Every structure is written in structure tokens, then in C-alpha cells.
């Protein structure tokens, strides 16, 4: 079965072809980053119009890359939500029109399910069950994943998502949009000891997270630095702040990942979403071992190994491949097709079980 996947929830148009027998055959992406950069953020109307312009050429590019034609497509999957209403509608209209013309089913996909399953696109795939850490611009969540469609929410950010905190902090450091990736690059040049920021909810005995206070701590530090330097942030100081901010976020994510693995008893961790591209997070989780708890005075039990999977870099941020793949998985489960409407605020709870279930 050949599934065409369409992603248009925000500022990236992604199109891909996934074959259930042969795997990913082609994927193409157009990022609108440069277009939105001059406004300092995504302009929804411009995003929608650009998606409309890109969808046909990207689909043709994918078909050429895969050596396939329109009539070879067995189903069209598209991101139904969550995301920007107009941007989603561009993808939905295109997917539905194409599927209707071809007489093939259309499969609505939850954007986060796409991210959640994206590590399965790698050559070395994780096996179920696993803990998924979903860290994107809009979400920071831990999920127990027992199979396709079998997700339990374990905990999430109570305020800003990790990616959002990266972007907002980057903005207050004067970095151009989109700042998260840039901040992480500069962090490489910063000293880990120059600043120290709080690790919010690090010791809360659950898997909830909070990142907005951390951003405020950075703001306070930046105001102090500016006051001492004629309104400027010296280059090295900015790099140091980037480093300290990144280290604080990574510490929280790693500690919570450790707890999620302990709580579930799973020994596989999968990281998905844009923040999964972060070098420090990759480095630290790559060394993660599980230390079982032990009573004071007792011998320390040996640490247990964990398998940690990251999606290939190109599938970490928004892309069509993860939508084509999630659609193909849903198709194999014979999910009924249909759905022209979009769901800009589609809660993930619609597709996950609550811990008590």
C-alpha cells in the first residue's frame, strides 16, 4: 500500500510517500522560515498561502523521486490537527481533493501521533513498549506507548512547552526567529559554569514539568547583564546564558525521563519532536542508565541499561514522512477514512488513554 502524507500544520510543507512493503520512498519539505523571519514569528495567513503554492510541486517531486504516478497512490494521509486553522485547511483541502479524484481513502492524522511514531522511520527501530518523550514547540509530554494507537499520557508541561521556552528565551536574547536551534548552537560556545538557572519541578514526585519560570529567570539575568553593559549583551555572556538555559531544560527532561522509565518498568526511550534535535539532550540521554531506588545503608543495585532512540534529524522537526507513516499504520489497522474538517485544537487526549484506563 502506497500512502501519500501531507503535513501543513504550521510553517513547513511536508509531502512524503510511504510504502507498507518497501518503507519510505520519498519525502520533500519546504520550510517557510525565511518568509516569516522578517516578522519575528509565523504569520498564519502567509503560511496558508504558501502551503497552497507548495503542495502540488512537492507531491510531483515525491512521485518522481519514487518513480511512481498519481494512480499508484492507495491512500492520502494528512495532518488534521492540531495547528494553524488556515494552514491545516490548505493541507486538508488538497488531500481530500486528491483522494476524491483518485477514488482513494483519506486518512486524518493527529500531528503528535506523527511525531510519536517518527522514530520508527529510522533504520534501527525501537520495539514496543517504550516511553516516548515528545518535545516540540507546542508540547512536552511523556507517553507510554504499547503499540500503534495505544498511548497513555504519563505527564506533561503545566505551562510553556520545552520548544516554546527555547524560542521565547532566544527572542529575549535577541536571536532571530526561529530561535530554538540557534540558541542550542550558541550554547555549544558557552561555559557551563558562568550562570546557573533553576530546574523547575525537578523534584516533584511526578512527570509534570514547568518551563515558564525558567524563562523568567533568564529574563532577570539578561536585564542585569544589559544594565551592566550599556544595554548590550556581550557575545560570550550570551553564549553562557544559552548554555545555562539549555543545561537546565535538559536536566529536567533527563531526570523526568529517568522517572518515567522507572515508573513504567520500560527500558526503551524514544525522543520525538523538534527539541529532539538538541545536541545536549541527545548526548545526555545517550548515556542514560536507570538507577533503581534503594534504601539508605543498603547496597546500591546495579544501574540498568536503557535503549534510547532519536528520530533521524530530518524527521525530528515537522515533516511529511511521519504523517505518511502514521497514516500507513492507521490504514493497516483499517481505521475508517474520511474527514475534510480540521481540528486546530485537537487535544491529544482524544487519542491517548488516561493513566487510570
- Select the binding partner of residue 82 from Zn ion, ligand KG4, none (C-beta < 5 to 8 A, by kind): none
Residues that bind ligand KG4 (CB under 6 A): 115, 136-138, 163-164, 166-167, 178, 180-181, 184, 273-275, 277-278, 317-318
DSSP 191: -
- Identify the three-state secondary structure at position 133: strand
In the complex with Zn ion, the residue whose CB is nearer, 190 or 327, is 327
Q: Which residues bind Zn ion (CB under 5 A)?
A: 136, 318
Closest approach of Cβ 272 to Zn ion, in Å?
A: 9
**Minimum distance from residue 70 beta carbon to ligand KG4 (Å):** 28
Binding residues for substrate: 134-138, 167, 180, 278
| Residue 223 contacts residue 212 (beta carbons within 8 Å) | no
Q: How far is CA 49 from the centre of its chain?
A: 24
For 353-356, which contacts have Cβ atoms below 8 Å and span 24 or more sequence positions? Answer: 353/150, 353/151, 353/152, 353/153, 354/152, 354/153, 355/152, 355/153, 355/154
From Zn ion, ligand KG4, none, interface partner of 108 (C-beta below 5 to 8 A by class): none
Residue in the block written with cell 532512540: 309
* CA nearest to 42, candidates 8, 15, 14, 5: 8
Shortest distance (Å) from residue 184 CB to ligand KG4:
4
Q: Could you tell me the smallest distance in angstroms from the CB atom of residue 296 to Zn ion?
A: 44
In this complex, which beta carbon is closest to Zn ion, that of residue 96 or of residue 136?
136
Strands 150-156 and 140-147: antiparallel
Name the binder of 277 from Zn ion, ligand KG4, none, CB < 5-8 A by kind.
ligand KG4
Identify which of residues 247 and 318 has a Cβ nearer to Zn ion in the complex. 318
180 makes contact, choosing from ligand KG4, Zn ion, none, with CB < 5 to 8 Å by partner type, with ligand KG4
Buried b (16+ CB within 10 A) or exposed e, 199-237: ebbeeeeebbbbbeebbebbeebbeebeeeeeeebeeeb
Q: Please, what is the minimum distance in Å from the beta carbon of residue 325 to Zn ion?
A: 14
Amino acid at each position: 500500500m502506497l500512502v501519500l502524507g501531507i503535513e501543513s500544520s504550521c510553517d513547513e510543507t511536508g509531502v512524503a510517500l510511504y510504502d507498507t512493503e518497501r518503507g519510505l520512498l520519498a519525502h520533500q519539505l519546504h520550510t517557510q522560515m525565511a518568509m516569516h523571519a522578517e516578522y519575528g514569528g509565523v504569520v498564519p495567513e502567509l503560511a496558508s498561502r504558501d502551503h497552497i503554492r507548495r503542495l502540488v510541486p512537492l507531491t510531483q517531486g515525491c512521485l518522481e523521486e519514487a518513480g511512481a504516478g498519481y494512480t499508484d497512490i492507495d491512500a492520502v494521509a494528512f495532518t488534521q490537527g492540531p495547528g494553524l486553522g488556515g494552514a491545516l485547511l490548505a493541507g486538508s483541502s488538497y488531500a481530500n481533493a486528491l483522494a476524491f479524484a483518485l477514488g482513494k481513502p483519506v486518512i486524518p492524522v493527529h500531528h503528535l501521533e506523527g511525531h510519536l511514531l517518527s522514530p520508527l522511520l529510522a533504520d534501527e527501530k525501537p520495539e514496543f513498549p517504550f516511553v516516548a518523550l515528545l518535545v516540540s514547540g507546542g508540547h512536552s509530554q511523556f507517553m507510554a506507548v504499547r503499540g500503534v494507537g495505544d498511548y497513555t499520557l504519563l505527564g506533561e508541561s503545566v505551562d510553556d512547552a520545552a520548544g516554546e521556552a527555547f524560542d521565547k528565551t532566544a527572542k529575549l536574547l535577541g536571536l532571530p526567529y526561529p530561535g530554538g536551534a540557534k540558541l542550542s548552537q550558541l550554547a555549544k560556545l558557552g561555559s557551563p559554569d558562568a550562570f546557573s538557572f533553576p530546574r523547575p519541578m525537578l523534584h516533584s514526585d511526578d512527570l509534570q514539568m514547568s518551563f515558564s519560570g525558567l524563562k523568567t529567570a533568564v529574563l532577570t539575568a539578561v536585564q542585569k547583564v544589559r544594565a551592566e553593559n550599556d544595554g548590550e549583551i556581550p557575545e560570550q555572556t550570551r553564549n553562557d546564558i544559552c548554555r545555562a538555559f539549555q543545561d537546565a531544560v535538559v536536566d529536567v527532561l533527563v531526570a523526568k525521563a529517568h522517572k518515567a522509565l522507572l515508573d513504567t518498568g520500560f527500558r526503551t526511550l524514544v525522543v520525538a519532536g523538534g527539541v529532539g534535535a538538541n545536541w545536549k539532550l541527545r548526548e545526555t540521554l545517550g548515556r542514560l542508565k536507570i538507577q533503581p531506588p534503594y534504601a539508605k545503608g543498603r547496597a546500591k543495585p546495579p544501574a540498568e541499561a536503557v535503549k534510547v532512540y532519536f528520530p533521524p534529524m530530518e524527521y525530528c522537526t515537522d515533516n511529511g514522512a511521519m504523517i505518511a507513516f502514521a497514516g500507513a499504520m492507521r490504514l493497516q489497522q483499517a481505521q475508517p477514512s474520511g474527514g475534510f474538517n480540521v481540528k486546530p485544537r485537537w487535544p491529544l487526549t482524544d487519542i491517548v488513554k488516561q493513566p487510570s484506563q
